[in-house]
Amino acid sequence: MNRDEALELVKSRVENKNLVKHMLSCEACMRGMAKRFNENEEEWGLAGLLHDLDYPETVNDPAKHGYVTVEMLRERKVNEKILDAILAHPGHKKPETLMEKSLYSVDPLTGLIVAAVLMHPEKKISYADTEFIMRRFKERRFAAGANRDQIAAISETGVSLEEFVGICVQSMKEIAAELGL
Ligand SMILES: [Fe+2]
């Protein structure tokens, strides 16, 4: 599956524009992390772009979240490495590979970054930097739904939390227009 096919699939199944933006954010961050690790940007991007594909139908049944996506993508012959990362993101398997660990931590970080940008008077990601996001990270009550332990687990990959935040902020800045931020 190439990127255009993946985006078409996302748009055909996910009506909620904010959820599509979330998936685009995760795609951008995963590509940024792939570059950092010298890994395959296309594959990592697909893991980010597709990871919440089944959200509309599993929102009330979180035990199925991820499994439904994997079934859909397996029929379309998507690489099993990507499917494993998608299964690991809601905790159906322990994140082990760099791709799995990255998606696991990217997912909540994108939400924290968006929440932080929206509290800034300009509401523009161009004003955000690592320091700004790290301050919000440390305010545990701010965007409390963004699981800090899950974000901080990125350090298991050998990349520090600060570097990770910097890569993700930069990656999301590159698609600011698409995100409306
Ligand atoms: Fe997600």
From residue 21, how far is each of 91, 103, 105, 111 by CA, in Å?
22, 16, 17, 10
Q: How far is the CA of 168 from the centre of ligand 1 (A)?
A: 14
Q: How far is the CA of 127 from the centre of ligand 1 (A)?
A: 24
Consecutive H or E run containing 28: helix 17-37
Tokens of 177: 């227009």
* Structural domain of 136: 3-179
User: In the 8-state DSSP scheme, what is residue 89?
Assistant: T
CB 13 within 8 A of CB 168: no
CB 26 within 8 A of CB 151: no
Is residue 70 classed as helix, strand or coil in its secondary structure? Answer: helix
**Count of CA atoms in the C-beta half-sphere (13 A) of 148:** 13
Q: How far is the CA of 129 from the centre of ligand 1 (A)?
A: 22
- Provide the residue-wise pLDDT of the chain in tens; the chain has 181 residues: 999 999 999 999 999 999 999 999 999 999 999 999 999 999 999 999 999 999 999 999 999 999 999 999 999 999 999 999 999 999 999 999 999 999 999 999 999 999 999 998 999 999 999 999 999 999 999 999 999 999 999 999 999 999 999 999 999 999 999 999 9
What's the domain count of the chain? 1
Q: How far is the CA of 10 from the centre of ligand 1 (A)?
A: 13
Tokens of 45: 């991007």
Residue 113 is part of a domain; what is its CATH number?
A: 1.10.3210.10
